[in-house]
Structure formats: C-alpha cells, structure tokens
Structure 1
Amino acid sequence: MPTLVSSDLYTQVQQFYAHQMQALDEGRLEEYTQTFTKDGSFQHSPDIAPAVGRDAILEELRSFLKKYQDNPTQRRHFFNQMVLEPQQDGSIRSTVYALIVRVRPNERPEVWPSTVVHDVIEVTDGEILLRSRSVSYDQLV
C-alpha cells in the first residue's frame, strides 16, 4: 500500500486544483501560470515539447487557445480519483483522472477528452506549486 498523505494536505491539494482549473476555464491564464514554480514545466499534449517556465507556459496556453477564437468554446476541467504519493525529495507525485467537458453555443455538452494528469507538487511554507505537469490522453493509448 502506498504511503498516505495527511487528510489536511489532501484537502489543500483538492482546493488548489479547484482554483487552478477555474482560473484556466475562465481564461485567467496569468493566474493559472502562477500555480507553477518559476521553472515549472507543462506538457498538455504528447506531440509537443514541454513549456518550461511561467512565461513559456503562458505563451503555450495563448497559442493553444487561438484555435478557439472564432469558435467560442467553454471548457470545464473535472479532476477526480486523485492519488498523492510523497517522494524522497519532499515533493508529492499526484495522479489525477480528468474529464474535459466542451460546450459550444446552442450545442449539447461533449465530454472530450478523457485524460490522466501527472503532476509533481512542491509545498513550501503552506504554498502549493506545480514543478511539472504532463497530460496523457486515453484515446492515444
């Protein structure tokens, strides 16, 4: 059985994810990038290299969202089945199932894609930041 984290830490990480995903879904990209360490990495698609550093993450998000500028789409990220595993270096490995619901005006919501989010979390003086995030897509396995 894996080492368990405290229920307080588990709850703090859930709240962190809730705030982080709401920032992303509401287009508050600068706020989202501040949830990463200064040298954090973000890879949201397996066919692109990770963006490293907050400025690069922000640019990657802006570039990705350009494809929706003429096709308004609201995305909602739902994280569940979170597993947190303490690491030797003091970080926490997080594995989360994520469903993304896409909604376009006057259309039915569409669940796409189904993913697994792999994070490395740093907790310093009660502040939670991501050292890295990579996302794998179930349809590509």
Structure 2
Amino acid sequence: MTVTSVMPDVYSQVQHFYAHQMQALDDRRFAEYAATFTEDCLFQHSPTAEPARSPAEIVDVLVEFHERFADDPVQRRHWFNHVALEWRPDGGIGSTAYVLVVTTRPGGKPEIAPSCVIHDVLDLVDGRLRNRSRRVSHDQLPGDG
C-alpha cells in the first residue's frame, strides 16, 4: 500500500475540524455544521436519499431528519476514529474515517447505531478547512461500502 503522507500539523488540524464539526451536529446547530462545507459541496449521508449540494440544502436535510425525533429526547454523539488522510492530485485532502454513532435516551443505556465510514474531500478555504464532499457508507446496508 502506498500512502501520500500528510504532516502531523495537517492531521491535527483535521482532527480539530472534525471535533468542532461533529459537536455542532450533535448539538443540533445545523447552520453552524453546514457552514463547514463549501458552497458547491456534495453531502450524501444516506444511500437512499438525494445528496445535498449546498450548505442550505444540508440544513434542510438535517432539519427534516431530526423532525422525526421531535418527541424523543435522544442524544447522538458521532465518534470519528482511524482517520486516514492523503493528499489528492487536485490539492484537496482525502479523508476516510470510521464513525460510530452513539445514541442515548434519559435513563437508558448508550447504543451504538449505526456504524459507518465517511469518505470526505477537504479543502483549505481562506485558511480554514471546509468539506467539499462527504459520502457516508453504512455498514449494516449490503453493498454500501
């Protein structure tokens, strides 16, 4: 396997970016989360849904998804691990990471569901990382690797 290495400072910056991005999502600050994507992004969070193609569409998708939990006090935490980065020929950073989504309800035990892999392309825009694209593969769905 040949991997184009990234410098430790870039890896650290990506980890920091993901930490803030996922905290915004888990706290349902959808506009803040969507602002971490480029204006011409592609966001494919489900293999059965049409991808969002702008931060505004990402907000719409997330609001619609979370409406089904309006009467459910569920808390989700997205855990990224095994983040693998490589430089792309176009200057972006390819990022693949394992994701576990931990769901908890008051008085209940944490449950892990789903288990996923994210496939991101990150760009440096005005000195800050932004997602150009994200495709989420769900481990429980056959052929979604």
TM exceeds 0.5?
yes
Residue aligning to 1:27: 28
Give the 4+ runs in structure 1 shifted more than 2 A. Answer: none
Q: Secondary structure of the residue that 1:94 maps to in structure 2?
A: strand
**One-letter amino acid of the counterpart of residue 90, structure 2:** D
Which structure's residues are more often helix, by fraction? 1
Contact 1:41 1:57 in 2 (8 A): no
Query: Hey, what's the Cα distance between the residues in 2 that align with 1:70 and 1:125?
Result: 40
**One-letter amino acid of the counterpart of residue 79, structure 1:** F
Residue aligning to 2:19: 18
TM-score, normalisation: structure 1: 0.97
Query: Hey, what's the Cα distance between the residues in 1 that align with 2:70 and 2:108?
Result: 17
Q: Secondary structure of the residue that 1:140 maps to in structure 2?
A: coil
Residue aligning to 1:126: 127
1:23-102 → structure 2 map (5 Å cutoff)? 23-102=24-103
Tell me how far 1:125 sits from its aligned partner: 4.0
TM-score, normalisation: structure 2: 0.95
Q: Percent identity?
A: 51
Q: Which runs of 5+ in 2 are unaligned?
A: none
Q: Which runs of 5+ in 1 are unaligned?
A: none
Query: Hey, what's the Cα distance between the residues in 1 that align with 2:129 and 2:99?
Result: 19
The alignment of Structure 1 onto Structure 2 pairs a total of residues equal to 141
| 1:94-140 Cα deviation digits (max 9, x unpaired) | 00000000001211110111000010100134210000101001111
Query: Hey, what's the Cα distance between the residues in 2 that align with 1:89 and 1:20?
Result: 23
Query: Hey, what's the Cα distance between the residues in 2 that align with 1:76 and 1:87?
Result: 29
